[in-house]
Every structure is written in structure tokens, then in C-alpha cells.
A and B are shown apart, each in its own frame.
Chain A
Amino acid sequence: MRILFAVLTAAIALGMPAVSRGDDKVVIDINRATERKMSVAVPTLIAGPGVDAGIARKAAELLAWDLNFSGVFSTINTAPWEPQAAGETLDSPAYKLWRTGGAIMLVRGTIERRGEGYGLEFRLYDTVQEKVIGLPGGAIGKRYQVGKDAAPAVHAFANVIMELVTRNSGPFGTRIAFEYRKPKTTRKDLWVVNLDGSGLTPLTQNNMLNLGPAWSPDGRHLAYTSYKRRNPDLFLMDLSRGTDAVLSAREGSNTGPTFTPDGKHVAAALSYQGNSEIYLLTLDGKIAERLTNNQAIDIQPTFSPDGQKIAFTSDRIGNPNVFLMDRDGSNVQRLTFNGKYNASPAWSPTGKWIAYASRDDGNIWIISPDGEESRRITNGEGSNEDPSWSPDGRYVVFSSNRSGTYDLWAADIITGTVTRITNLPGDERRPAWGPYYIK
């Protein structure tokens, strides 16, 4: 079997640079799995006149967070070395200093006041070969203009670095919507958080039950279930306008929405015809198609990225398992066979995997759509549920009670690196990873 998941080579261990230069192109061997991560130094940004030192430091810390999250990099503690690096410029990085500090790569950035906001510039260096590393597209650095918050520039550069080393942009700058239940209550509101854990914001505040958010592909809408009209109904929230419309308030349950990849329809489970069946709805709430017709519970549709296949949960064999069907509801096949209780399928944006939660062992698993390959991506700590993919298809966010209450965690499916995203009092459940909003 080919190694499906590539990470950077263990070249570091051999005393060679992980990054080598071809003619004028960086070539990185990402086809050899390793547990070794690339060590990188991310010192405080060089601050121009009038820029608060705290902002420069925070920007570096945020970039370090992103790189550590990636599973590809491990940042060194720059504090002991920074005094000696004073006077460093983008054109004269202190290669030897950072190499001595244990970093084979260095990210140097500057931040200057520009208008009401900031201008930032970043470069990536190879401390072993003592060279600036060419970025995708051939540039040696990236410049950004931002408002009062430098974070979008930091995340954009983190994605550039990810694209360089994995050929896919990273997940940085994205947001995650989720259900939040405060301690000792039975009500839930929907909240949103930046991947780095900042920017916690409530999206609903009606003191009811608001459940199961799903993003539209353009990131402008959220479909979700709410009991605010005393029944589990589907609503469509317009995030830019802050408005809300009923999507389906049919008798019985209206739950588990997911957008089609083209954003033109929502598939959801409705029970108005007797028991939970999967339907395709237009965005103004009309039934476009009924996709299942079965005495069993049929729920949790999720589309393949080409929109041609749907994975869903059904208990038609007596207990819940993940099944596949064609877009029109035909050609139903069972996908999961391990244990007695497999649910919450999520089709990856790359199309290669379907993540799901196994109740038997409390883990998140990924399985190929042909069912031939399957891997566990959590290690059995606590109960792990509700997987949702990052837009680049490399990470899975999920809820886990490994620390006592349910929080959101994310796993790199390649290296297995797990990072905590939220740590609120009470329970954070059913994360939905949003699309990019910074291009």
C-alpha cells in the first residue's frame, strides 16, 4: 500500500535540510511519513515606528500557534535568543543564532503602521543553507495590508507556508460554529470561534435549544435546527445581515441540515411523513426530492465534494451505521461494519475520506468511500464525537469529553497531532468547520 499520508521527510534527523532547492524551485519530500516535525523559529515581528511591541509579539505568537497546529512544524522557544537578534532585518537574518537555537527554519516578519491599520511582510528562511526560501508563485516574501487586527495577515502567511510544504493551503483564518451549553442548563446557543480559539461570539441568544449548525459553501449562511418555535425546525441564518428565515417547520422533527456542494440545496432529515427520512430542500424551503423511504431512521446526510454521492446514518439493519447512496437516493450501500454503532458521517473536501464517530470505542474514524481503508484518528481518550473537516481536508474538528466536559479539539489526520480549540465552562458540541473567509 502506498503511504497515503505524507509528511515532511526526516531529513532533519540526518543532518540535512528538510527543504532543498532544485533549479529555482523548492522541492520537499512529503511522501515519507515521520513523527519528526520541522523545527522553526518565529521571533517577535520587527516593529516599525509607532507600533506597539505587544502587537508585534502577539502576531508572532499567533503564527507560532498556527504552525504548531499544523502537525508539520514545531516552534522553538525564541525568548532566550531574541535579545541577541536585535538589529536583525529581513535582508540580514541571524541564521547561525537560530540554528544554534535548534531551528532549521526561520520566519521573520515586520509590522508597520499604514493608515488606520498595519502593513506586514513575512519571509521564510532555511537556517541550514542560509537562504531565503522561495514561496509558491516564486516570490521571496509576502506583503499584507490589514486593518487594526493583524491576524488575517498572519493566517494568510501560515497558509502560504502550508501550501509550500504540503501543496495544499492550510486551514488558518477559518472559523468553527458549534453548540454551546452553559453549565447546569439544558439550553444551547450556537456560537462561532476562530480556529485559533479567539473571537468567541454567540450567533443565537434566544435561550432555547439551537442545534447542529451547517455552513453554506460561501460561508455566508448557516442552516441549523432550533426549538425557538417550540418544535425542532430548520432555519437559515444570514451571517452578514444577521437575519434568519424558516427553512422547514414541518410537523415532527426537522434536523441535520447540510448544504449541497453547489450551495443551491440543503439536504436534511424530516419526519413529517412518519419517521425520519432524508429530503432535498430548496433554499426557500420547498421539497425538491425525497431521497430515502424506509421504516428505519435515516439522518445526517453529507455530500461527496462532486455532489454525486451522499453518506448518511441509518438504523435499517437494527442499529445505526453509515451508508452511501447516489445523489438521487438510489444504489444504497452499507459502508461501516465495525461494532454496533457508527454515526455522524462527514465527507472530506478532498473526497478521499468519510469521517465518522464510533460509539463502541468512542473514537473518530476515517474510512475510504470504497470501504477498503479505515483508520482511527483519536486515541480512545474520552468520548469523541461530531467530526467535521477543515476546508483543506487535512484536519478534523470534533467534540471530546477527555478533559471532563465536552470541548472542541482538532486532529491532523496525517501526524495525529491533536490541538484543543475551545475550553469553555459547560459543553461545546457539534462543531461545523467553516470555509475560508480569507483568500
Chain B
Amino acid sequence: MTRVAKLGFVLIVGAVMLACASAPVDEIAQAENALRAARDSGARDCAPRSFRSAEEMMARAYRLSDEKEYDEAKKTAETTRELAEVAKNESDKARAAGRCKPAEVTDSVEDDAAASGDGARLGGATLSEADVREEIARIQTGEGSLGEGTRVTALKPVYFNFDDSGVSGEALQTIQENAEWLEQRPTVKVQVEGHTDERGTAEYNLALGERRAKAVRDALTRLGIAVDRISVISYGEEAPANLGTGEASWKENRRAEFVIQ
């Protein structure tokens, strides 16, 4: 190699290094996040063309990065992000308008929700405060146990076994459905009411009802609902859903109920 050639090589390498010294990690991560949000919103089904373009663009960005074409990789990643955002918007609009029902969502909470078959569910999208107010008025079923707040059909009671505050199986599935509903309505605050059946000592039942309410609150927060949106109260055995006696009544009374504040 001649001196000049050597110098030229150094200059070229230096120029490349100045333009983009390393892989565009941040841009690729932002593109990935946007793509995941689009996928979570059901864009694969509800905005298929935009979503496919975004996925192809993402793959290209990785390929360029592997080839150390960092400048190109960076630009491609930025384009991927924009495409993914477009796909998500299209998908949200299609679902809000009822034009599309996604066959696949990624998160397990949403899998359960989708399996329950409610087409009005919106996945990761959120509703405006005004829309939520209107909806709550439409689906309300009554008041909280002391006449404050609003019960709605969408937030179902969670049921428990005797002298037990464990949430699993059916109870957990109910909590997951309620969590999804709350996730889509971030302005909604709820009070979880813990209740017991009439058997046993009232004072103990008050403590047991509190345990149940807190178990539900903890499960909701593990599912991503902010803890400051959930308050708890126990009514023990004092506010039965069913005033009758016997196991048929009791099992309706061993519950946690959701009241919108």
C-alpha cells in the first residue's frame, strides 16, 4: 500500500466513523416499541398493509445495521417507527368504528379478554374521559354498598371460597378482564369492596373482607393498574348481595365488588 493510499484509507475510515460510529441502538429500540404497540392494538389484522410495511422496514434496518451501514440503518429505523405509528392509528380507528375485530393480541391479559369475546374491547387503546362517562351511564347497575359510587356491568364481582382470600382460576380471570377494562379507561378510579358471608364472627369477617379487597387490589396492580386508582374498603358480612341464608346465598356474598368513584 502506498502512503497516499494508506492516508486515503484512514480518511475514509475516519469519515465513516464521524458519520456514524456505531449501530443506531436507540432508534432501533424506538422502532421496536412502536411496532409492538401497533401489534398490541391489533394492527396485524386491522391495518395489515401498513403493519406489513413496518415489519419489512424493521427487518431492513437490522440487516443494514449488521452490515455496519449505520447511517442507512438509522434512517430505516426512523421510518419503521413512523410506519408502525401509522399502522397503530389505522388499527385503532378501525376497531373504534367497529370495522375490525382482531384475531390475535399478544398480552396474556388481552388474550383472555379476547377469548371472552367482547368485540367492544379496545386492547391497548384508551377512551376519552367524556366517552367513559357516557359509557358508565349506559352500563351502570347500581350504587356502592353505602349508596356512593357506581357499579357497572363491565366490572364483575370476584368470588371466594369460605374463609379464604385467594385469587386464582375463575377469580383471576375476572380480575384480568376488569384490569383490561380499567386499562382502557385510565381516568376511572375504583373502590374494591370486600365482602363475606354471614357465617362466623362479624369482626373477623370485617378483617377477612379487607384481606379479599386487598388481594384483588394487589392482583390489579400486578396487571399494571396504578395503585392510586384503587381504594379498598371492607364491609365484612354487613352488606350481603343476597339476604338469604344457605350456601346458594353465601357463595354470592363471598365477593369483592368494584365501585367506580
- Judge if A414 is at the interface, Cβ distance under 8 Å: no
- Judge if A231 is at the interface, Cβ distance under 8 Å: yes
- Give chain B residues whose Cβ lies under 8 Å from the Cβ of A313: 201, 203-204
- Judge if A359 is at the interface, Cβ distance under 8 Å: yes
- Judge if A19 is at the interface, Cβ distance under 8 Å: no
Is A212 in contact with B202, judged by CB distance below 8 angstroms?
Answer: yes
- Judge if B207 is at the interface, Cβ distance under 8 Å: yes
Is B146 in contact with A209, judged by CB distance below 8 angstroms?
Answer: yes
- Judge if A256 is at the interface, Cβ distance under 8 Å: yes
Chain A 171-189 interface 0/1 with B at a Cβ cutoff of 8 Å (1 = within): 0000000000000101010
Is B203 in contact with A212, judged by CB distance below 8 angstroms?
Answer: yes
Interface residues of A in 316-352 (CB under 8 A from B): 319-320, 341, 343-344
- Judge if A429 is at the interface, Cβ distance under 8 Å: yes
Is A230 in contact with B202, judged by CB distance below 8 angstroms?
Answer: no
Most buried by A among B148, B203, B210, B240: B203
- Judge if B32 is at the interface, Cβ distance under 8 Å: no
With A186-B145, A188-B238, A209-B238: A429-B207 Cβ-Cβ less than 8 Å: no
- Give chain B residues whose Cβ lies under 8 Å from the Cβ of A386: 201-202
Is A271 in contact with B200, judged by CB distance below 8 angstroms?
Answer: no
With A209-B235, A232-B234: A253-B201 Cβ-Cβ less than 8 Å: no
Complex Cα spacing A186 to B206, Å: 15
Complex Cα spacing A255 to B204, Å: 10
- Judge if B38 is at the interface, Cβ distance under 8 Å: no
Interface residues of A in 223-270 (CB under 8 A from B): 227, 230-232, 252-253, 255-256, 269
- Give chain A residues whose Cβ lies under 8 Å from the Cβ of B145: 186
With A253-B210, A271-B210: A299-B204 Cβ-Cβ less than 8 Å: yes
Residue from B146, B199, B201, B207 in contact with A271 in the complex, judged by beta carbons closer than 8 Å: B207
Residue from B163, B207, B233 in contact with A269 in the complex, judged by beta carbons closer than 8 Å: B207
With A230-B146, A271-B210, A276-B210: A300-B238 Cβ-Cβ less than 8 Å: no
Complex Cα spacing A97 to B146, Å: 62
Chain A 362-398 interface 0/1 with B at a Cβ cutoff of 8 Å (1 = within): 0000000000000000000000011000000000000
- Judge if B208 is at the interface, Cβ distance under 8 Å: yes
- Give chain B residues whose Cβ lies under 8 Å from the Cβ of A359: 199-201
Residue from A231, A315, A343 in contact with B233 in the complex, judged by beta carbons closer than 8 Å: A231
Is A343 in contact with B238, judged by CB distance below 8 angstroms?
Answer: no
Most buried by A among B208, B238, B240: B238
Closest to B209 in A: A253
Residue from B146, B211, B232 in contact with A297 in the complex, judged by beta carbons closer than 8 Å: B211
- Give chain A residues whose Cβ lies under 8 Å from the Cβ of B243: 184, 186
Residue from A211, A227, A315 in contact with B204 in the complex, judged by beta carbons closer than 8 Å: A315
Residues of B within 8 A of A (CB): 145-146, 148, 163, 199-204, 206-208, 210-211, 232-235, 238-240, 243
12 CB contacts below 8 A, A to B, read A186-B243, A208-B146, A212-B202, A227-B146, A253-B210, A255-B203, A256-B203, A269-B203, A275-B207, A300-B204, A320-B201, A385-B202
